Amino acid sequence: MNGTMKGLVKETPEAGAAVRYDLEIPRVKDDEVLVKVRYAAICGTDQHIYDWTPWAQERLHLPMVFGHEFSGDIVEVGSAVRRFSIGDRVAGETHIPCNSCAECLTGNAHNCEKMKIIGVHVPGAFCDYISVPQDCVWKLEGNMDYKTGALLEPMGVAVHGVFSGEISRRNVAILGCGPIGLMAVAAAAAGGAAKVMAADIFPAKLALAAEMGAARTVHTREEDLVQAILQETGGRGADVIIDYTGNARLISSAFAALKKGGRFTLVGLPNEKLTLDATNAIIYKEAVVNGVTGRRMYATWMQCSELLTSGAVCLDKLMGGEYALEDFAAAFAALKDGAPGKMLFRL
């Protein structure tokens, strides 16, 4: 497809971004599909890029269209594409695996040794059209709407974390009620957790957590997290604690609320080095500590599709705000102000 399109571009090495109307519609390579983007959601990663934090400075080469959580319609397919056709409704997978390293060859493509990321290393989805390898799209099942489709990628991070160990009949504490934490609350409840507890510092987010399946919410500035969890679990502690905050101090202290033999899953990237009393926090507890990055390709996608199409999880309450691309400043401001749910661009 020839022509120009609209997109949100990070142009200069400073905070902010700009809408451009003269971007070239990308050309489809043999193994790629061209997607007309319908909705794109803003991720914490995009906030880093927008604010031009050190994380973004180390990774991006400017100018760059950013954004990576998207849904849309396939409008063109490359000559080697077999799994998709024009007209397919799809969601975007951010990981671009190399398909030839040891991880890719052993079923761990989501943790590829040469991983590239859409919207960070290659042009992203805050635009009308994006061309991506066929590995990077997932067909929307049934009549799943585009907005939900745009949230499948972050939902995958939530679901991968929750189901990276046993969840059924376990007492589960979810730390952090941003969109991914909230999706984890819903996934844990749908997965048969005995009791889901959710912690955050924003009352509006805690209210959403309660609506999405948390039996107990903990405002960590007003209440002691460890005491609250112990109280809710007969003094034994949570079987599973999953952190989506990346708050190093909170993580360290929360180990005191983990039951013996429990699982502590780390998803959020700690904001500073983690210091732990490993003797009591892990060894004497025989605790299992695991890290989770991204989503499994495509086991997690199947789990997400199943949770949504069965009605076990619904993301409607997570739609925080819908914006035109031109209103990007307001969308990023809402995110920064701690507005609950996801901010989406309608394209």
Closest distance of CB 105 from Zn ion, Å? 8
Closest distance of CB 5 from Zn ion, Å? 22
User: Is residue 96 a contact residue for Zn ion (CB under 5 A)?
Assistant: no
299, two tokens: 């086991």
User: Is residue 104 a contact residue for Zn ion (CB under 5 A)?
Assistant: yes
User: Is residue 120 a contact residue for Zn ion (CB under 5 A)?
Assistant: no
How far apart CA 255 and CA 197 sit, in angstroms, is 15
Closest distance of CB 13 from Zn ion, Å? 22
Active-site hit among 4, 12, 48, 233:
48
How far apart CA 32 and CA 19 sit, in angstroms, is 25
Which of 69/128 has CB closer to Zn ion?
69
User: Is residue 42 a contact residue for Zn ion (CB under 5 A)?
Assistant: no
How far apart CA 295 and CA 230 sit, in angstroms, is 31
Measured from each CB, the residue nearest to Zn ion is 43
Count of Cβ atoms closer than 10 Å to residue 166 Cβ: 13
Of the candidate residues 35, 112, 214, 240, the single one contacting Zn ion (CB under 5 A): 112
Count of positions on this chain that bind Zn ion (CB under 5 A): 6
Scanning 8-53, the segments in alpha helix (DSSP H) are 44-51
Q: Could you tell me which of 225, 231, 95, 237 has the C-alpha nearest to residue 156?
A: 95
Active-site hit among 45, 233, 245, 300:
45
The residue with tokens 């809710």 is 232
User: Is residue 101 a contact residue for Zn ion (CB under 5 A)?
Assistant: yes
| Residue 148 is a catalytic residue | no
Closest distance of CB 20 from Zn ion, Å? 22
User: Is residue 90 a contact residue for Zn ion (CB under 5 A)?
Assistant: no
Run of H or E including 291: strand 288-291
Query: In Å, how far are 168, 243, 343 from 198, measured between CA atoms?
Result: 17, 10, 21
Which of 104/196 has CB closer to Zn ion?
104
3-state secondary structure at position 74: strand
| Residue 48 is a catalytic residue | yes
The residue with tokens 């996934």 is 187
Which of 108/253 has CB closer to Zn ion?
108
Query: Which positions lie near Zn ion, rule CB under 5 A?
Result: 43, 97-98, 101, 104, 112
Q: What are the residue numbers of the active site?
A: 45, 48
